[in-house]
Structure 1
Amino acid sequence: MEILILLAVVVVLLFAVPDIRRSLITRPAFGFFKRVLPPLSPTEREAMQAGDTWWDADLFSGRPDWHEFHQIKAPQFTADEQAFIDNQLETLLTLLDDFRIVQQDADLPKEVWDYLRQEKFFAMIIGKEYGGLDFSPAANSHIVSRIATRSISAAVSVMVPNSLGPGELLTHYGTEEQKNYWLPRLADGTDIPCFALTAPEAGSDAGAIPDMGIVCKGEFDGEEVVGIRLNWNKRYITLAPIATVLGLAFKLYDPEGLMGDEKDIGITCALIPTNHPGVEVGERHLPLNQAFMNGTTYGKDVFIPLDWIIGGREYAGKGWRMLIECLSAGRGISLPALAAATGHVTQRMTGAYAYVRQQFGLPIGLFEGVQEALGEIGGKNYILESMRRLTLTALCDGKSPSVITAMTKYHMTEMGRDVLDAAMDIHAGKGIQLGPRNYLGHGYMATPVSITVEGANILTRNLMIFGQGATRCHPYVLAEMEAAANPNEEEGLAQFDKLLLNHIGFAAGNFFGSLWMGLTGAHFNASPMSGPTARYYQQLTRMSRALALSADMAMLVMGGDLKRREMLSARLGDVLSHLYMASAVLKRYEDDGRQASDLPFVDYALQHHLYSIGQAFDGFFANFPNRFVAWTQRFVIFPLGIRFKKPTDATLQAIAKSTMEPGTTRDRHTFLCYWREEEDDMTGHMELAFLGMRKNADVYKRIRQAVKRGDIAENLNGDALAEAALAAEIVTAAEATELKHVEALRLRAIGVDSFAPGVIEQRRFYS
Structure 2
Amino acid sequence: MTTDLLDLESLLTDEERAVRARVRALVDREIRPHIADWFERAVFPRELVPALAAEGLLGMHLTGYGCAGRSAVEYGIAMQELEAGDSGIRTFVSVQGSLAMTAIAKHGSEEQRQTWLPRMAAGEAIGCFALTEPDAGSDPAAMRTVARRDGHDWVLDGAKRWIGLASIADLAVVWAQTDEGVRGFLVETSSPGFTATPIEPKLSMRASIQCDIALDGVRVPESMRLPDAHGLRAPFECLGEARFGIAWGALGAGRDALEGALAYAGAREVFGRPLAGMQLTQARLAEMVLALQQAQLLALHLGRRKDAGLLRPHEISMGKLASVRAAIDVCREARALLGGNGVTLEHSAMRHAANLESVRTYEGTDEVHTLVIGQALTGLSAFRG
TM-score (norm 1): 0.46
Alignment of 1:191-590 (within 5 A): 191-217=125-151, 225=152, 227-253=153-179, 265-289=180-204, 290-310=206-226, 312=227, 315=228, 318-333=230-245, 335-434=246-345, 437-461=346-370, 463-471=371-379, 563=382
Aligned to 1:121: 57
- Specify the code of the residue in structure 2 equivalent to 1:410: L
1:403-453 CA deviation, whole Å, 9 max, x = no partner?
10001111211111111121122111121123xx31212112112111100
CA distance in 2: counterparts of 1:82 and 1:370, whole angstroms: 31
Contact 2:174 2:187 in 1 (8 A): yes
CA distance in 2: counterparts of 1:467 and 1:88, whole angstroms: 37
Contact 2:86 2:253 in 1 (8 A): no
CA distance in 1: counterparts of 2:299 and 2:374, whole angstroms: 20
Alignment of 1:678-693 (within 5 A): none
Mind listing any 5+ residue stretches in structure 1 that lack a counterpart?
Answer: 1-72, 218-224, 254-264, 472-559, 567-767
- Specify the code of the residue in structure 2 equivalent to 1:367: M
Contact 1:120 1:133 in 2 (8 A): yes
Aligned residues: 373
Superposed displacement of residue 288, structure 1: 2.1
Superposed displacement of residue 266, structure 1: 0.8
1:333-381 CA deviation, whole Å, 9 max, x = no partner?
2x22232113322332222222221211112222222222112111111
Contact 1:125 1:168 in 2 (8 A): no
CA distance in 1: counterparts of 2:240 and 2:26, whole angstroms: 31
Secondary structure of the residue aligned to 1:384 is: helix
The answer to whether structure 1 residue 136 and structure 2 residue 44 are counterparts is no
Mind listing any 5+ residue stretches in structure 2 that lack a counterpart?
Answer: 1-9
Q: Judging changes above 3 Å, is the alpha-carbon distance between structure 1 residues 190 and 319 closer, same or farther for their aligned structure 2 residues?
A: farther
Secondary structure of the residue aligned to 2:266 is: helix
Alignment of 1:64-75 (within 5 A): none
CA distance in 2: counterparts of 1:180 and 1:329, whole angstroms: 21
TM-score (norm 2): 0.89
CA distance in 1: counterparts of 2:138 and 2:187, whole angstroms: 23
Q: Judging changes above 3 Å, is the alpha-carbon distance between structure 1 residues 115 and 406 closer, same or farther for their aligned structure 2 residues?
A: same
Contact 2:167 2:211 in 1 (8 A): yes
Q: Judging changes above 3 Å, is the alpha-carbon distance between structure 1 residues 93 and 109 closer, same or farther for their aligned structure 2 residues?
A: farther
Contact 2:135 2:143 in 1 (8 A): yes
Contact 2:341 2:347 in 1 (8 A): yes
- Specify the code of the residue in structure 1 equivalent to 2:363: E
Contact 1:194 1:246 in 2 (8 A): yes
Superposed displacement of residue 213, structure 1: 0.9
1:115-154 CA deviation, whole Å, 9 max, x = no partner?
2344443231332x31111111211121121122123322
CA distance in 2: counterparts of 1:92 and 1:345, whole angstroms: 12
1:560-610 CA deviation, whole Å, 9 max, x = no partner?
7x83799xxxxxxxxxxxxxxxxxxxxxxxxxxxxxxxxxxxxxxxxxxxx
Secondary structure of the residue aligned to 1:190 is: coil
Alignment of 1:130-169 (within 5 A): 130-163=65-98, 165-169=99-103
CA distance in 1: counterparts of 2:382 and 2:232, whole angstroms: 21
Q: Match for 2:116 among 182, 190, 200?
A: 182
List, as ranges, runs of 4+ consecutive aligned residues in structure 1 with deviation greater than 6 Å: none
Alignment of 1:41-56 (within 5 A): none
Alignment of 1:582-601 (within 5 A): none
Aligned to 2:35: 98
Secondary structure of the residue aligned to 2:259 is: helix
CA distance in 2: counterparts of 1:106 and 1:75, whole angstroms: 35
User: Which structure features the higher share of strand residues?
Assistant: 2
1:680-716 CA deviation, whole Å, 9 max, x = no partner?
xxxxxxxxxxxxxxxxxxxxxxxxxxxxxxxxxxxxx
- Specify the code of the residue in structure 2 equivalent to 1:238: G
- Specify the code of the residue in structure 2 equivalent to 1:402: P
Q: Judging changes above 3 Å, is the alpha-carbon distance between structure 1 residues 347 and 433 closer, same or farther for their aligned structure 2 residues?
A: closer
1:428-486 CA deviation, whole Å, 9 max, x = no partner?
1121123xx3121211211211110001112221x211113433xxxxxxxxxxxxxxx
Contact 1:166 1:247 in 2 (8 A): yes
Secondary structure of the residue aligned to 1:331 is: helix
Secondary structure of the residue aligned to 2:232 is: helix
Q: Judging changes above 3 Å, is the alpha-carbon distance between structure 1 residues 101 and 185 closer, same or farther for their aligned structure 2 residues?
A: same
1:231-264 CA deviation, whole Å, 9 max, x = no partner?
02011011111000000111112xxxxxxxxxxx
Percent sequence identity is 23
- Specify the code of the residue in structure 2 equivalent to 1:403: H
Point out the structure with max Rg over C-alpha: 1
Q: Judging changes above 3 Å, is the alpha-carbon distance between structure 1 residues 75 and 167 closer, same or farther for their aligned structure 2 residues?
A: farther
Alignment of 1:105-116 (within 5 A): 106-108=43-45, 110=47, 112-116=48-52
- Specify the code of the residue in structure 1 equivalent to 2:220: I
Give me the CA root mean square deviation.
2.4
Secondary structure of the residue aligned to 1:281 is: strand
Secondary structure of the residue aligned to 1:267 is: strand
Contact 1:340 1:388 in 2 (8 A): no
Q: Judging changes above 3 Å, is the alpha-carbon distance between structure 1 residues 122 and 565 closer, same or farther for their aligned structure 2 residues?
A: closer
